[in-house]
Amino acid sequence: MTLDRPLRIALAGAGQMARQHVQAIQALGPTVQIVGIADPSAEARTAILDEFPDMAEAPTLPELLETTVADVVHVCTPMEFHAEVAMQALDHGCHVYVEKPVTPEVSELTSMLGKAGERGLKVCAGHQVLFERPYRSLLDLLPSIGRPVHVDSYFSFKPVRTSSGRTRPLSNDEQLLDVLPHPTYLLLDVLERTVPEGSSELRALEISQGRTMHALVGRGEVTGCLVASLEARPVEHWLRVVGTNGTLHADFVRGSVQELLGPGTSGIDKALNPLRLSWQLGFRTIGALARRIRKRGGSYPGLEDIFRSFYQSIRDDLPSPTSETQIRETVQICQQVKKRLLHNEEAVSRENPKPAPDPQVLVTGGTGLLGREVVKILREADFGVRVVSRRIPPPEDHVPGVHYVAGDLAGDLPPGLLTGIRKVIHCAAETSGGWDAHQRNSIDATVSLLRASADAGVETFVQVSSVAVLDSRAKGPVTDQTPLHPDPKRLGPYVWGKSESERLVREMAPELGIGLKVVRPVPLIDTNRFSPPGRLGRRISNLFVAVGRPSRSLVVADNKSTARAVVETALRPKATEHVTNLVPPRPPTRGELVERLRRVSPEVWVVWVPPVVLHPLSWTATLAQKLFRPGQPAIDLASAFRGIEYAPGPAAKWMSERHTVNPLATETAHAS
């Protein structure tokens, strides 16, 4: 195929990955031209057209291709639509680039590849890591290590807990399957280069409940180890090839390759090899960082090169840069992993009892740090519980007997969400993002849920706020009667969202005729997985900068005792005031918290910074915010670390280590 014009590119999907594609395509210059984009969401299309104008648009790919001529279609839709959209592109005579995972099932892939072959069209998979600098360098060095005898492909990943607002967050299983192709196709590519004949196969597979997958993949006499994990830390992505004359290690996080060549059997080799590796890692990582800085704002590494190679294969009628064999074997392994995940879920479901038939309490955010403990306590007290969250957790994370519902509180509530519900415990709130995200997912969601609760005849609405919303500038300890901060935007989007939510429910509840309880927890720490609270300091790699004096107390509470207090507030109609702070009777000192950090992270070095140092830093930061972000509220950094004294209130007795939920409260709640 010889062209004397630019190759015309259309995109299906207008999400974040499509933006990366557009950036990479535009970086290729005048030899290519983006002609259109298709996405069911008009908002998503508008957002990407605002950033990258001068292209056609349509809600579906067939509609776009009816009016726009394209040579290639990039499929950037969610995975469940990959096969359908790719087939539409092939029907219109377009070559297709399909993001990973290409398809969830081998049968869909077979149909796609079959149609492409019939029509003389090419399919390229989104296996861009094959074109990243570390892997290309590893391939250049591969002959120097002799015959490869073992391969390790490793990927650890932090799950995404929030949603972009347009699509639901992925479950843990879905996120594992989403990242799995990357380490899989790297391993398969090395195995195929090592043993050209035959095929690769999955020989062993184990998956833990925390979503760490171990697999053995073999091809001929060579076996590779494939590991993908959502829980292993730190986040890493690397490939190691061990040969008869050395070892190669491609590090995709640091963008570098380390090699140890030669037999390495002498004492000198054993002594010098660690020094050789550290030198390579240090200097090559610095070089990779410099390249990333020069390319700031560019697309994902490898995208430009795989696009260039794919387009060149179209122009010169060469094989696609990702072979059909590699795509098929990657999908086969991912499909086998998916079947094992489904099998494990079914086994867990058989072990757990069925959900309680008559939920009486709705808990929002019931999968979070506080909400999950609230749910556990309610079930221990024999309450029927319904949980609504942005995603339904995998079965192994379910609290037995709880009815889980996926829903967006700021959008249309799921049908029947409040049916039979007498008490709502509203733990959900936005925890990241900017002002718009907190407006939508904290403030708007709370107002929507409160109105719906009143319409459904809910008796009690428990709003989980935060002590951070209070005006702590006055002398003396903060109490239940302390007013809200007059300018919460100075304290950042999270506190502003909490403050506005509390203010609105306190105004609206009397008008709507619904009973209201407002509880304000202090900052929480996880009982089972300690992480230092933000007011204690900040961790920078293995250095922890602690702010304040070790002897001074820091008012924090563990999630279990706080959950007990929340439940008691919800269950006892007259046990607390209308608004109450959840302050523990004896908060820990900063020194005690640092010692706890040292126990779980003995590698951490701690540096103490006196509070007086914060004030000039905070003034400088405030000035910088006003200069570089005019019109936006400046956040007071010093307040984030300031020690505040809180007076324990009536709820303190429920936060005692010896306290459990009173059975009389359960009886009273049932009777009421």
Which residue did the predictor score with more confidence, 55 or 172? 55
Whether 96 and 160 share a structural domain: no
Sorted by sequence, the CB contacts under 8 Å of residue 173 that are 6+ apart come out as: 211, 338, 341, 345, 394
Among 300, 335, 364, the domain-final residue is 300
Q: Which residues of 566-592 are buried (b: 16+ CB within 10 A; e: fewer)?
A: bbbbbbbeebbeebbbbbbeebbebbe
Whether 603 and 634 share a structural domain: yes
Least confident of 52-66, 421-435, 628-642: 628-642
In order, the DSSP letters of 418-475 are TTT--EEEE-----SS-HHHHIIIIIIHHHHHHHHHHHTT-SEEEEE--GGGB-TTSS
CB-based burial label for 544 (10 Å; 0-12, 13-18, 19+): buried
Q: What is the pLDDT of residues 7-41, one digit of tens each?
A: 999 999 999 999 999 999 999 999 999 999 999 99
Distance CA 46, CA 21 (A): 16
Q: pLDDT-derived band of residue 53, with 50, 70 and 90 as boundaries?
A: confident
Whether 192 and 286 share a structural domain: yes
Question: Does residue 350 lie within any of the structural domains?
Answer: no
Q: Which residue has the tokens 């706890």?
A: 596
Question: Is pLDDT above 90 for 527?
Answer: no
Whether 567 and 547 share a structural domain: no
Sorted by sequence, the CB contacts under 8 Å of residue 438 that are 6+ apart come out as: 430, 493, 494, 496, 497
**Structure token digits, residue 257:** 């390759």
Whether 630 and 516 share a structural domain: no
Q: What is the pLDDT of residues 632-667, one digit of tens each?
A: 665 555 566 666 888 888 888 888 755 555 544 444
Question: What angle in degrees, to the nearest 10, is found between the helix axes of 172-179 and 181-194?
Answer: 30
**Amino acid occupying residue 156:** S
Q: pLDDT-derived band of residue 250, with 50, 70 and 90 as boundaries?
A: very high
Question: Is pLDDT above 80 for 474?
Answer: no
% pLDDT > 90, the chain: 66
Whether 447 and 402 share a structural domain: yes
Q: pLDDT-derived band of residue 390, with 50, 70 and 90 as boundaries?
A: confident
Question: Does residue 320 lie within any of the structural domains?
Answer: no
**Structure token digits, residue 484:** 């809200």
Whole-number pLDDT of residue 636: 57
In order, the DSSP letters of 379-418 are HHTT--EEEEESSPPPGGGSPTT-EEEE--TTSPPPTTTT
Q: pLDDT-derived band of residue 577, with 50, 70 and 90 as boundaries?
A: low
Question: Does residue 325 lie within any of the structural domains?
Answer: no
Tell me, what CATH number does 238's domain have? Answer: 3.30.360.10
Distance CA 439, CA 448 (A): 12
Question: Does residue 530 lie within any of the structural domains?
Answer: no
**Structure token digits, residue 255:** 């963008």
Q: pLDDT-derived band of residue 573, with 50, 70 and 90 as boundaries?
A: low
Whether 565 and 540 share a structural domain: no
% pLDDT > 70, the chain: 88
Whether 517 and 666 share a structural domain: yes
Instruction: Report pTM.
Output: 0.76
Whole-number pLDDT of residue 621: 63
**Structure token digits, residue 381:** 């007290």
Whole-number pLDDT of residue 434: 87
SS3 at position 329: helix
**Amino acid occupying residue 119:** R
Mean pLDDT for 372-379 is 95
Question: Does residue 349 lie within any of the structural domains?
Answer: no
Whole-number pLDDT of residue 164: 44
142-146, 286-290, 525-529, 531-535: which is most confident = 142-146
Mean pLDDT for 326-352 is 83
Mean pLDDT for 379-400 is 87
Instruction: Evaluate whether 170 touches 177 at the Cβ level (below 8 Å).
Output: no
Sorted by sequence, the CB contacts under 8 Å of residue 511 that are 6+ apart come out as: none
What domain range is 600 assigned to?
536-552+588-642
Mean pLDDT, the chain, rounded, equals: 88
Whole-number pLDDT of residue 163: 46
Distance CA 187, CA 152 (A): 7
Q: What is the pLDDT of residues 290-333, one digit of tens each?
A: 988 887 666 789 999 999 999 999 999 999 999 999 999 999 99
Tell me, what CATH number does 495's domain have? Answer: 3.40.50.720
Sign of the Cα pseudo-torsion (609, 613, 618, 624, in order): negative
Whole-number pLDDT of residue 165: 40
Number of separate domains in the chain: 4
Question: Does residue 340 lie within any of the structural domains?
Answer: no
Whether 562 and 548 share a structural domain: no
Q: pLDDT-derived band of residue 348, with 50, 70 and 90 as boundaries?
A: low
Whole-number pLDDT of residue 342: 81
CB-based burial label for 417 (10 Å; 0-12, 13-18, 19+): buried
Question: Does residue 345 lie within any of the structural domains?
Answer: no
Question: Is pLDDT above 50 for 377?
Answer: yes
Residues forming beta bridges with residue 470, ordered by sequence position: 484
Instruction: Evaluate whether 105 touches 335 at the Cβ level (below 8 Å).
Output: yes
Q: What is the pLDDT of residues 584-640, one digit of tens each?
A: 988 999 999 999 999 988 989 999 988 777 666 666 766 766 676 676 665 555 566
Whether 99 and 245 share a structural domain: no
Question: Does residue 366 lie within any of the structural domains?
Answer: yes
Whether 608 and 478 share a structural domain: no
Question: Is pLDDT above 60 for 182?
Answer: yes
Mean pLDDT for 546-559 is 91
Whether 509 and 371 share a structural domain: yes
